[in-house]
Amino acid sequence: MTVLVTGGAGYIGSHTVRALVAQGRDVVVLDTLELGDRSRVDGVPFVKADIADGRAVERAVRRHGVTSAIHFAAYKAVGESMEQPLRYWSNNVAGSVALVRSLLATGVDRMVFSSSAAVYGTPERVPVTEDAPLRPESVYADTKVAIERLLATCGAVGLRSVSLRYFNAAGASDDASIGEDWDASQNLVPRVMKAIVTGEPMQVFGGDYPTPDGTCVRDYIHVLDLAEAHVAALDHLASGGATVTCNVGTGIGTSVAQVIDLAEQASGRRVPRTVGPRRPGDPSAVYADPTMARTLLGWTARRDLRDIVASAWRWHSSGR
């Protein structure tokens, strides 16, 4: 009953691996370590390999008695995906096709897939429901749509799956031992932390949006809640549940200014910042309707933005 976790040494993957291990489940991590960090999953069975390496994947499945997979392994930098599209199509999409082939060849018939709210692009209305039109605005988002579609067709060949569309993942582990490094991420929460710690001002991208305080609104979801969503998705599949695609968010929209405020409260320090122009392509407000995850997976976010920011601060201020 071992779970294969591809990309399990990454930011979200490693939090999920720890959640599984904490529940006494058997796990094997498969990661190239190109971007992952082995020390995040110390003590967990580990295979250094690419998802496209069929022999390595099949060997890992057989050796560890794998019956299900959680598939995180992917490139995820939106800007980079526009400059290096083939790297993204190849690693994310061709890699996933190869992985699915290897899983089916070894009798693994369940997968949880790491998708993204980026598949919606700029949504027509919020909160966003899963039936909103898919309008990917980057190669990165294109690859997530393509893999969702791949998985949606794989029922015919015996693979059931849950695709989880994450909203804005943020925060760190309770023991402040793993978190999201600002060197590896341009995302808001690590940027805010970097500004506090280094004193270098961060840029707020736009202060003139049609939102209550003029800054963009997003749905920040604690990485530990995200980890729990994966466990719930695995359980859904283990109990015979059908292939589904679910938003994973809190349903609450929070502005950039509110994130900064909470970071100042958590750290007791000022966030040095300048308000600059809008970032091209940023929608003014995106947040989830998380009803489907609640009704189908029995999952709901338990932590709020204060928990997210406080945990990120504990991690960044403890020397990372």
Name the residues annotated as catalytic. 140
Q: Which is nearer to ligand WQD, 2 or 247 (CB)?
A: 247
188 binds ligand WQD (CB under 6 A): yes
Output 186 or 318, the one with its CB closest to ligand WQD: 186
Alpha carbons 167 and 163: distance in angstroms, whole number? 13
* Closest approach of ligand WQD to the CB of residue 144, in Å: 7
Residue closer to ligand WQD, measured from CB, 118 or 172 = 118
Considering the rule CB under 6 A, would residue 208 count as an interface residue with ligand WQD? no
Given 21, 78, 94, 97, the residue binding ligand WQD (CB under 6 A): 78
Q: Which is nearer to ligand WQD, 40 or 76 (CB)?
A: 76
Instruction: List, in order, residues 6 or more apart from 122 with CB less than 8 Å away.
Output: 135, 137, 283, 286
CA 189/CA 183 separation, integer angstroms = 12
Residue 62 is a binding residue for ligand WQD (CB under 6 A): no
Q: What is the DSSP letter of 128?
A: B
Ranges within 158-187 binding ligand WQD (CB under 6 A): 166, 168, 186-187
Q: Phi/psi of residue 5, each to 5°?
A: -115, 105
Q: Whole-angstrom Cα distance, residue 294 to residue 243?
A: 15
DSSP code string of 213-265: TSS-EE-EEEHHHHHHHHHHHHHHHHTTPPPEEEEES-S--EEHHHHHHHHHH
What is d(CA 306, CA 314) in angstroms, rounded to the nearest whole number? 12
Least CB distance to ligand WQD at residue 215 (A)? 7
- Asked if 61 interacts with ligand WQD (CB under 6 A), we say no
d(CA 188, CA 185): 9
- 82 near ligand WQD, judged by CB under 6 A: no
Assess 116 for contact with ligand WQD (CB under 6 A).
yes
Q: Is 279 a binder of ligand WQD (CB under 6 A)?
A: yes
User: Does 110 sit near ligand WQD (CB under 6 A)?
Assistant: no
**Which parts of this chain interact with ligand WQD (CB under 6 A)?**
76, 78, 116, 118, 166, 168, 186-188, 191, 202-205, 216, 218, 256, 279, 282
